[in-house]
Amino acid sequence: MTISRRLLVSVAVFGLTGTLAGFAAAADKIAIITPGHDNPFFKAEAVGAEAKAKELGYEAIVMVHNDDANKQNELFDSAIAAGVKAIVLDNAGADATVAAVKKAKDKGIPSFLIDREITASGIAISQIVSNNYQGAQLGAQEFVKLMGEKGPFAELVGKESDTNAGIRSKGYHDIIDQYPDLKMVAHQTANWSQPEAYKVMESMLQAHPEIKGVISGNDTMAMGARAALEAAGRGDVIVVGFDGSNDVRDSILKNGIKATVLQPAYAEAQIAVEQADKFLKTGKTGVAEKQLMDCVLINAANAKKLETFALAK
């Protein structure tokens, strides 16, 4: 609803400024397209990008594709029709997005990708990607330390179709598997979902009551697992997540979940808008197309500084 309203508003503004042409130039528009804002991670991206766009004098058109590539394609059409100068995108599929970005490029509209990459280079101007592998290694190192380098543990894996699920799991195992006394007794997907993780954790506990730790591919699954563990009177089990959400921050501060890894979503979105601005003004960004943004370990020592996917200095 918000989307169509904002679109209407921008169309109205456009119409108004159109009639005033010659007196004042309309603000250039930037489209900001992400998955749904019910996940606070994506909301933080949209909020960060919108704030930076306004600061730099652009009008922001904020839209969501809910991880639906067809919807994303329609949003690209809308953005092109609305005459945006640039598109900032957290995409709906590494392969499926290539065509949409190319379509915009062919119309002279540059795209600046955040969070996740696409499978082609040379089509988007920037791809600013969270370094999930580095982040997972940080989380795993902390997990190993918390576990005292030994004991049975379980892993909750994200949605199998999502590249990030695989790379986080790989980053975890590249560290954890070096410790022969750490034994993975259960390993299952909970599709990034909190309720699903709750159920999976319940059955894992029944099958493996000896579990001492759970490493999770994201924070929502970590929250589900933690709730199931507490309900079963197993608050002693160590849980480590990934994303750096406010929910997990609060849990860490209450000595619930022990650690997570922050993906700097807010900063990433702002950098994308800065690069879009520079590109529109000078024809280049001055940096390579694909850029990795490193993640930061969050535990009791720095959790207080975390707010909406940004860490205060």
Partner 1 sequence: MKTIVLSAAVLAVAFAFTGCKLVKTGGDGTTAQVAADESGDDIRNAARIQKTYEPQLVPLIRSSAVDVATLKAAIGESLDAAGQKYGHRGAGEGGAWSFAIKGTGKVVSAALQSRAAHIDLDIDGDGTADVVIQIGPVVMGSALRDFAPFYSFTDFRDQIEFAKLGRALNAAAVKGLTRPTSDVTGKTVTFVGAVSLHSAGETLNVVPISIEIAP
Contact between 257 and partner 1 (CB under 8 A)?
no
Compare residues 268 and 277 and give the one whose CB is closer to partner 1: 268
> Rounded distance, CA 205 to CA 62, Å?
42
Contact between 14 and partner 1 (CB under 8 A)?
no
Contact between 272 and partner 1 (CB under 8 A)?
no
Contact between 93 and partner 1 (CB under 8 A)?
no
Residue 34 contacts residue 87 (beta carbons within 8 Å): no
Contact between 289 and partner 1 (CB under 8 A)?
yes
Site string for partner 1, 167-196 (x = CB under 8 A): x--xx--xx--xx-----------------
Among 8, 287, 300, 301, binds partner 1 (CB under 8 A): 287
What is the closest distance, in whole angstroms, from the C-beta atom of residue 179 to partner 1 in the complex?
Answer: 8
Contact between 299 and partner 1 (CB under 8 A)?
no
SS3 sequence, the chain? CHHHHHHHHHHHHHHHHHHCCCCCCCCCEEEEEECCCCCHHHHHHHHHHHHHHHHCCCEEEEEECCCCHHHHHHHHHHHHHCCCCEEEECCCCCCCHHHHHHHHHHCCCCEEEEECCCCCCCCCCEEEEECHHHHHHHHHHHHHHHCCCCEEEEEEECCCCCHHHHHHHHHHHHHHCCCCCEEEEEEEECCCCHHHHHHHHHHHHHHCCCCCEEEECCHHHHHHHHHHHHHCCCCCCEEECCECCHHHHHHHHCCCCCEEEECCHHHHHHHHHHHHHHHHHHCCCCCCCEEEECCEEECCCCHHHEECCEECC
Compare residues 131 and 189 and give the one whose CB is closer to partner 1: 131
Phi, psi of 44 (to 5 degrees): -60, -40
Candidate segments 62-70, 83-91, 121-129, 187-195, binder of partner 1 by CB under 8 A: 121-129
Contact between 2 and partner 1 (CB under 8 A)?
no
What is the closest distance, in whole angstroms, from the C-beta atom of residue 289 to partner 1 in the complex?
Answer: 5
Q: What angle do CA 107, 95, 133 make, to 5 degrees?
A: 120
Among 34, 132, 260, 270, binds partner 1 (CB under 8 A): 132
Contact between 94 and partner 1 (CB under 8 A)?
yes
Compare residues 116 and 226 and give the one whose CB is closer to partner 1: 116
Contact between 163 and partner 1 (CB under 8 A)?
yes
Among 104, 197, 293, 303, binds partner 1 (CB under 8 A): 293
Residue 135 contacts residue 295 (beta carbons within 8 Å): yes
Contact between 294 and partner 1 (CB under 8 A)?
yes
Residue 40 contacts residue 10 (beta carbons within 8 Å): no
Contact between 161 and partner 1 (CB under 8 A)?
no
Candidate segments 25-33, 132-140, 183-191, 195-203, binder of partner 1 by CB under 8 A: 132-140
Contact between 150 and partner 1 (CB under 8 A)?
no
> Rounded distance, CA 33 to CA 113, Å?
10
Contact between 131 and partner 1 (CB under 8 A)?
yes
Contact between 117 and partner 1 (CB under 8 A)?
yes
Candidate segments 60-68, 119-127, 185-193, 202-210, binder of partner 1 by CB under 8 A: 119-127
Question: Which chain residues interact with partner 1 by CB under 8 A?
Answer: 94, 117, 119, 121, 127-129, 131-134, 137, 141, 163, 166-167, 170-171, 174-175, 178-179, 264, 267-268, 271, 287-294
